[in-house]
Amino acid sequence: MTRKNNTEEKTSEPKLDLSKEKLDRFGITNKDYLSAASKRALQWKYVENDWYRVFNAMKPLKGDLAYEKGIVRRDPSAMIKENGKYYVWYSKSIGKTDGFGGDIENDKVFPWDRCDIWYATSEDGWTWKEQGIAVPRGEKGSYDDRSVFTVEIMKHEGMYYLCYQTVKSPYNVRVKNQVGLAWSNSPDGPWTKSVEPILKPADNGIWQGTEQNRFLVEKKGDFDSHKVHDPCIVPFKGKFYLYYKGEQMGEEILFGGRQIRHGVAIADTPKGPYIKSKYNPISNSGHEICVWPTQGGIASLITTDGPERNTLQWSPDGINFEIKGAVKGANMPHAIGLNRTLEAPKGNPTQIFDWGLSHVYNNWHEQSIMRFDSYRKSSHVARGAKKPNGKKKETIQKDN
């Protein structure tokens, strides 16, 4: 008879910083009685204010990007500046959104259904002139024949690259979104589209039955087994990092939000092939992709869903991200179009958010693009009082 070993292995806890300075900073007076929250605080590697951002209420644009009845303009790309003008690309569709349950061959099931990618230019970032279609939907039977949308721009060595989501008809609830690519030697086109998608969902999930229900699965598969969304390509360390949002088959609701995570695929050239990182997923929260280079690494704004939503994160290698700061939930823009003409210096890594573009839901059938702005907040004092450095507080603390 084998004798049972009654010795239990002790679970090793992370080492806590119990210095007098750390205890005093967090108001912990008895180190022998630590709540779970106090233990988490003592494990923090840093407590910084350099990344904290406050967003102001969004403001309407003028010209062709002002709200227009019966029109969807959404998901603006980042802005670049060429020939003395700002350029932005976006999804555009016309007419009401019908949803599922009707004639999906002819209805418009989402606001981003039946979209083409359009672009506009502006001299001041406020008044915009719509220039027309940049990338249209593909011919019937192609991988992008139903909709092309949620576009992002990258300029590299005199070439311009647009990556975007694609859907092949019919657009049912189990359809698998993919990512396409187009390139040109001018921001005004013409654009050449990739013959095949540059990124596809994982193929290791298994649907349960044939009913059009995306929550019925036999096997969920990878974090991106259903859809790959919101692509953004960033040149980094001699390679090209394609960041994207993954949606899983049988997606759940966790931590008060959808189970959304981000991934990255890496290529040696802008056109690929893109190979998914073995470390995916690289986030446990988030929604739309919003990434930018700073401090020798890649930063990411994580919004909307998951336990780490509304945080700013940074990675030295583009894969392993840690929380660096937070943003206030109020006035948070959606599907942010970063202003790539702004810097993100070491001393102010979120300066790129001084102003940019976003979209708003005027209603389910109409969306429009607006302008956001924000400021970095490094202290909290009453009006007229002195800041921690002894200087009198400004009425509005802005860095721009």
Domain limits, the chain = 13-44, 53-376
Q: Same CATH fold, 53-376 and 13-44?
A: no
> CA nearest 365: which of 155, 187, 108?
108
In this prediction, residue 172 carries a pLDDT of 95
Dihedral angle sign, alpha carbons of residues 207, 209, 211, 213: negative
More confident residue, 14 or 216: 216
Written as six digits, the tokens of 57 are: 């209420």
What is the distance between the alpha carbons of residues 284 and 264, in angstroms, rounded to a whole number? 13
Segment of 9-23, 244-258, 351-365 carrying the highest mean pLDDT: 351-365
**C-beta separation of 38 from 24 below 8 A:** no
**Cβ neighbours for 147, distance < 8 A, ≥ 6 positions apart:** 93, 112, 113, 114, 115, 137, 165, 166, 167, 171
pLDDT at 378: 79
Give the CATH number of domain 13-44; options: 3.30.420.40, 1.10.8.360, 3.10.580.10, 3.40.50.300.
Answer: 1.10.8.360
Average model confidence (pLDDT) across the chain: 92
Helix (H) or strand (E) holding 41: helix 36-43
CATH of 53-376, one of 3.30.70.120, 2.115.10.20, 2.30.110.10, 3.40.1710.10: 2.115.10.20
First-last CA distance in the chain? 76
What's residue 6's pLDDT? 46
Q: What pTM was estimated for this model as a whole?
A: 0.92
